[in-house]
Structure 1
């Protein structure tokens, strides 16, 4: 399904927020590396998707009404068998319904469990004066606590991407802190450039977050993603 098709379907359903599965679809289409995610609407579908993707897997609730999945018990990690996946599917749906009874629950996303890496965040938001603005910084919950981020107005050039990665205070972590291997900085710069291209090509996108992105010595991949339409 093309980027335009995904966006058109969401609009037809009266939604501004793409699900994680949809967000990853459009970002992958734009050349941004993501951990693949499959939508499962039953425990049997979830188990089948897990077998196809390979264990261990992660399950996350898929709902346009639930943004912070962990807060409602909507995430299960390290599932190593079809039986565990089937049980986790039911547990996630039950927990989400208890916490947010009015939520529309479409199912769960099934994705391979990514190997750990340095967590960073890439994002885009619309500024009323300057238009699309890219953000880069530490990922996970650290971005909310430390606010160690850099910004550039779209479009960016390769030099801008290089500077964005290097001007955060936590850059030594990416270089390889205390014996840890350095992250693939060029992979992060490519992601920023492709995100800039995506923002230019799709002005209907109001905001997006890739958090976390796992940076490795040999690449980088978005583990979670959220796209908001204008």
Structure 2
């Protein structure tokens, strides 16, 4: 389904957050890489999907009422085999029922777990005065703690994206420390540029959040993509 049709359908259905699989489809259309992902309606489907993509996997609750999945116990990582997945599925459902008893559960997202890289965040929002703005900085659980971020107006080119990266402290990690290889800054610049293109292309997207983005010596992967629509 074309990106604009996905967004129109979400608006028609009254959704203010684009579902994860649809968000990944939009990212893919803008050449923003993400791990193999599938939506499973039940445990059997979950097990089959994990078998097809290969372990280890991550599972996440899929519900339009639960935006911050981790806070509801709705994310379990590091699942190594079918037996662990069987137990993790039951635990996930139990966590969510306790934390959000009234939430409508639409299924479970099964995602190939990728190896950890340097964690960064790439985000964006529509500023009333300046228009689309792209944010970059230290990602993962520390983004709100250290607030190591930099902003640019979108759209922007790769040279400007590199300057944006260099303004942050996480740039030191991306260059490689203590014998580690440097991350692929060209690929990261592509993610930032394409995020700006995405944000600029759709007036109905109010903000977006790619966190974490794992950076490697040979590329970058958006592990979690969140697109927020105007009410």
Q: TM-score range by the shorter chain?
A: over 0.9
Question: Secondary structure of the residue that 2:137 maps to in structure 1?
Answer: strand
1:48-76 Cα distance to aligned partner (Å, 9 max, x none): 11011111111011111212212221111
**1:24/1:36 contact within 8 Å kept:** no
| Aligned residue number for residue 15 of structure 1 | 15
Residue 9 of structure 1: how far off its partner (Å)? 2.5
| Alignment pair present for 1:159 and 2:159 | yes
Question: Secondary structure of the residue that 1:141 maps to in structure 2?
Answer: helix
| Aligned residue number for residue 63 of structure 1 | 63
| Aligned residue number for residue 201 of structure 2 | 201
Residue 31 of structure 1: how far off its partner (Å)? 1.0
Residue 77 of structure 1: how far off its partner (Å)? 1.3
1:151-198 Cα distance to aligned partner (Å, 9 max, x none): 001111222111011111231111001222111100100011111111
Q: Structure 1: where are the runs of 5+ without partners? A: none
Counterpart-to-counterpart distance in 1, 2:49 and 2:11: 27
Residue 7 of structure 1: how far off its partner (Å)? 1.6
Residue 20 of structure 1: how far off its partner (Å)? 2.0
**1:139/1:211 contact within 8 Å kept:** yes
Counterpart-to-counterpart distance in 1, 2:226 and 2:129: 23
| Aligned residue number for residue 31 of structure 1 | 31
Count of matched residue positions in the alignment of Structure 1 and Structure 2: 230
**2:57/2:110 contact within 8 Å kept:** yes
Residue 226 of structure 1: how far off its partner (Å)? 0.4
| Alignment pair present for 1:93 and 2:90 | no
Counterpart-to-counterpart distance in 1, 2:102 and 2:62: 14
**1:93/1:107 contact within 8 Å kept:** no
Counterpart-to-counterpart distance in 2, 1:86 and 1:13: 32
Counterpart-to-counterpart distance in 1, 2:90 and 2:29: 31
Counterpart-to-counterpart distance in 2, 1:9 and 1:37: 21
Q: Structure 2: where are the runs of 5+ without partners? A: none
| Aligned residue number for residue 122 of structure 1 | 122
Counterpart-to-counterpart distance in 2, 1:186 and 1:30: 16
Counterpart-to-counterpart distance in 2, 1:72 and 1:181: 36
| Alignment pair present for 1:53 and 2:53 | yes
1:87-141 Cα distance to aligned partner (Å, 9 max, x none): 3223212211111112122111101111010000000111110011000000012
**1:42/1:89 contact within 8 Å kept:** no
